[in-house]
Chains A and B, each alone.
Chain A
Amino acid sequence: MMSEKKKINRREAIGAIAGAIGGLAAGAAIGWFAKPPEVIERPGATVTETKSVTTTAISPTTVTVPTTTTVTKTVTEAVTPKITTITVNWFPGPESDAVTPIIEWWNKYMTPKTGVKVELVLFGRAEHFEKVASLLLAKSPEPDIVWMAYTVGRVYEHLEPLDEWFANPEFYPYSLEHYVDAALDAFRVEGKLYGIPTDMNTSLLIYRKDLIPEPPKTLDEMIEVARKFTKKYNPDSPTEYGFAIQGKNIWFNSYFWIDLYVSQGGPPFSPGKEVEFVESLDTPLAIKTLEAYVNMYKEGLSPPDSIDYEYAETNAALAAGKVAMALQWNAALGELRDPKKAPLVYDKIGCGPVPGRMENGKYIPGRSEIHVHGPGMNKYSKKKEAAFKWLAFMTTFKFQMEYLRNGGFTGSNAILYNPAARKIRPEIVEMADIYRDGWAMTTHAQLVPLHDVLTRNINSALVGTKTPEEALKDAKKEMLELLKKS
C-alpha cells in the first residue's frame, strides 16, 4: 500500500516537473514570438502646422475690413538623421577612463549631427587581446571597432584596411599627416594601415636626477654610472644598485635589450626588416651588447632577483629608492612622479633616451622602438560607415587634446609639440624628441613568438645557462625558423 502510494507520488512529481519544464518552454516560445518589435529610432516626422493669422487691412476708403489668412507649413526635412549605434571596444584601465568622457560628449553633441551613437564595450585587461582575437576568428560583426596593439600582424586579415577610407573626402574631417611616422608604421602590415595610434609607447632611461645630473650618453657611460651607484663597489652610494635589468622570461622584456642593441648601431627590428635584424644577432656588435647587459647582472650592478623583474618590480625598486637607473616603459614616468605612489622619489625622477654611441668622434643618440595601441575596424562589421565616422573623429586635434586631458597619449606631432598639450602634461617636453626619433617595432604575424624566443635566450644568458654568444646563436636559429615557417 505504502509503496504503491510512493510510486504514484514519484510519478506525479516527475509529471509535474516535466509539465513545468514544458510549460516554461512553451511560455518562452510564445514570449519570443509575441515580443513587441524593437523600437527603431527614426528620422524626424513630417509635421503639418496650421496657423491662423488675422490681419487688418486698411483700405484707401478708410473702410476697415477684417480678413483671415490661413498659412500651412509642412516640415518635410528630417530634424535628426537615422541613428546608428556602433560598439566600440577599448582597452580597460587608464585608456578606457580617458575615452569614456569623450564618448559621453560625442553621444550628447555629435550623435544628432552625425547619426552615430557610440557604445563602449570592455573586456578584461589581462585577456583582452585573446578575447578580441577569438571574436575576430569567429567572424563576429561586433564590436565594430576593436582595440588593437602592435600584435595587429596576427589578426590583420580580420581587420578592415583603412587607407581607402582615409582617401575618401566624403568622411572628412580627418587627418593622418600629423602622426609620428613610426606610430603609423607600427600599425601597418604589408604597407596597409589597420589602426589609429591613439596610444603611443616607448622605452626610456629613467634615472635619479638628484644623483645623476645628466643621463649617461653611451652604454659604457651607463655601466660606469651604474657601478658608481652600487653599494658593492661604492659603499657610500645612496642606492643599493646602480641599475635594474628587466630579466623575467616574459616575451616583451626583449624590447629593452633590442633598444640598447639598435642604439649601439644594430639594425632596427622594423616592419619588413625582420630577417635583417635576426641575421645580425650573431654579429660581434650584438654579442658585445648582450655581454655588457649580462655582465651588469653578473657583477651585481642589478638586484639578484631582477632575473624575475618586469614592469611592476622595476618600478617598485625605483620607487623604494634602491636603484639609480632602469630602462623602463614610458608609462612608468607618471607613476614614479606621483607623490602618492612614489613618495620617496617622485621629485627626483628624470628621463632620457636609451644610451647611444660614439661614432668617428661624433655622438649618435640612442633610438627607442615605438609600439602603439589603438582602435581598428572589424572587417565583419555591418556598420562600417558609421564606425569610420568615429575613427575619423579620433584623428582630429579635438579628440587628441581631450584624450590627453583625460590621461591618454596620442602618437601625434600635433600633441608632442603643442604648447597647450605640454602644459597639461609637462613630461611631453622631455619625451617629444624620443618619440619623434623612434623606430617602429615590427608588426610581423610572428612578433610575439619572435620576442619570446629572444627573451628566453637573453634570460638564459643572464642566469648563466648559456653564454651570450650561444644564446644569440640559438635565438637566431629559432627566429629564422619561425620567419621561414610564416
Chain B
Amino acid sequence: MTSREGIVNWIFITPVMIILLGVTIFPLLFAYYMSAHDMTMVNFWHPNFVGLENYLEIITTTDFWSSLRFSLFFMVIVTTIETLLGLFMAVYFDRPLKGKRFLISFILIPLGIAPALFGIMMKLMLNEFVGIVPFILRHLGVTFHFFKDFTSSLITLIWVDVIQWTPFIFIVLYAAIQALPREPIEAAIVDGASKWQLFRYITLPMLKRTLIIVLIFRMMDALKTFDTIYVMTGGGPGISTTTLSIYIFKLALIRGDFGLAAAATILFLYLATVAISFALKRMRREGII
C-alpha cells in the first residue's frame, strides 16, 4: 500500500471512527462514569463518587430481579410462539395459493408500524367500551377483560407481540425457503417421502442456519422490549409486567437517578453479553460465521 493510498484510506475511515467514538465509545465510558457516581438531575454537574454502591443497591433490589425474570420469561414465550408460527406460515405459503401476494403484504402490515403506536392502537382496539375486539367477543358471547390482572395482561401483551413480530420471522424464513435448492426436495419426493418427512429431514435442516440467526435477532429484541408494554400496561399491574428496559427507564427518567440507571444498564449489558457470546459460539459451531 502506497502512502497516498494510506492517506485516502484514513480519509474514508476517520468520519466513521468519529461517529463510532461519539455514539458508542463515549456513551459507554460515560455510563461507567455515571454508574460510579450518585448522579441525578439536580447534581448532574457535581455528582459524588460512590464506587460500587449503585451496583450493590441494584443487585439487592427485588424490583431488578423481578423485572429481569419477567424479561426472560417474556422473551422465551414470545420467541417460541413467534418462531413456531412464523415457520408454519413460511412452509404453508411455499405453495401456489390464490391471492398469495396480497396475503403476504397484509401479514406484513404490523411490521411497518412503530411499536409504541402499535401498542396504542391495540389498546384502543381492546378497550372494553369502545374497542372492536371486545365488541366482537361480546357478540360471540365471550367476555374477556384484557387488563384485569397479571394473567390477562400477560396474555394480552404476548398476543400483541406475536401479532407484531411473527411477520418478521415469517418473511425471513419464507425468503430462505424460496432460496433452498429444489433438487434434494425433488429427490426425496421421488423416494416417496411424506410431507412431514420432507419438512423434518430436508427443509428444516437446510433452514437451520437462517432459523438460528432469526432466533437470535428476535431473542435480543424481545429481551429489551419497551415501547409496547410501556404504553399498554406501564409495567403493571404492580410491577408484574415491568421489563428490564422499563425498569431502567423508570430509574433514569421517573426517579431521575442516572447513577442507578447506568449501573442497571451495565449489569444488563453484561447479562446480554453472556447470551450473545453463547449465541455466537453456537453460530460458529454451525459454520454461520
Contacts and interface: CB of A to CB of B under 8 A. Distances in A.
A466 B250 CA distance: 22
Given A18-B8, A154-B256, A460 B250 contact: no
A308 interface: yes
A465 interface: yes
A88 to B, nearest CB: 23
A465 B5 CA distance: 68
Contact of A445 (B42, B149, B254): B42
Contact of A249 (B8, B128, B238): B238
B234 A322 contact: no
A199 interface: no
A449 interface: yes
Contacts of A456: 236, 238-239
Contacts of B5: 11, 14
Q: Chain A: interface secondary structure?
A: helix
Nearest to A244: B129
A480 interface: no
A465 B131 CA distance: 28
A157 B42 contact: yes
A249 B41 contact: no
A412 B262 CA distance: 42
Interface string A316-330: 110010100000000
A313 B127 contact: yes
A137 B44 contact: yes
Interface string A5-46: 000000100110010011000000000000000000000000
A462 B237 contact: yes
Given A18-B8, A249-B237, A305 B148 contact: yes
A303 interface: yes
A322 B42 CA distance: 45
Interface in A442-464: 445-446, 448-449, 452, 456, 459-460, 462-463
A248 B231 CA distance: 11
A345 interface: no
A191 B150 CA distance: 44
Interface string A295-323: 00000000111011000010011001010
A463 B234 CA distance: 15
Nearest to B2: A11
Contact of B41 (A14, A21, A155, A465): A155
B236 A303 contact: no
Interface in A136-172: 137, 154-155, 157
A249 B44 contact: no
Contact of B256 (A14, A249, A303, A449): A449
A483 to B, nearest CB: 13
Given A449-B256, A452-B250, A308 B130 contact: no
B146 to A, nearest CB: 6
Nearest to B238: A460
Contacts of B127: 305, 313, 316
B241 to A, nearest CB: 9
Contact of A248 (B129, B149, B150, B236): B236
B256 A448 contact: yes
A130 interface: yes
B129 A465 contact: no
A452 B249 CA distance: 13
Chain A: interface size category: 35 or more
Contacts of B153: 308
B147 A305 contact: yes
A308 B236 contact: yes
A320 to B, nearest CB: 4
Contacts of B256: 154, 445-446, 448-449
Contact of A14 (B8, B128, B148): B8
A122 interface: no
Nearest to A157: B42
Q: Which of A154, A313, A322, A486 has the most CB of B within 10 A?
A: A313
A295 to B, nearest CB: 17
B145 A305 contact: yes
A285 interface: no
B238 A137 contact: no
A277 interface: no
A460 B237 CA distance: 7
A384 to B, nearest CB: 20
B236 A130 contact: no
A465 B250 contact: no
Contact of B128 (A155, A305, A448): A305
Nearest to A21: B11
A250 B255 contact: no
A251 interface: yes
Interface in B130-178: 130, 145-150, 153
Contacts of B235: 249
A392 interface: no
A137 B253 contact: no
A154 B255 contact: no
Given A154-B42, A463-B149, A251 B237 contact: no
Interface of A: 11, 14-15, 18, 21-22, 130, 133, 137, 154-155, 157, 248-251, 303-305, 307-308, 313, 316-317, 320, 322, 445-446, 448-449, 452, 456, 459-460, 462-463, 465-466, 486
22 contacts: A14-B8, A154-B256, A155-B42, A249-B237, A250-B234, A305-B148, A307-B149, A308-B233, A316-B129, A320-B129, A320-B130, A445-B40, A446-B256, A448-B254, A448-B255, A452-B250, A452-B255, A456-B236, A462-B237, A463-B238, A486-B40, A486-B42
Given A137-B45, A307-B149, 8 more contacts: A249-B234, A305-B127, A308-B232, A316-B130, A448-B256, A463-B150, A465-B240, A466-B238
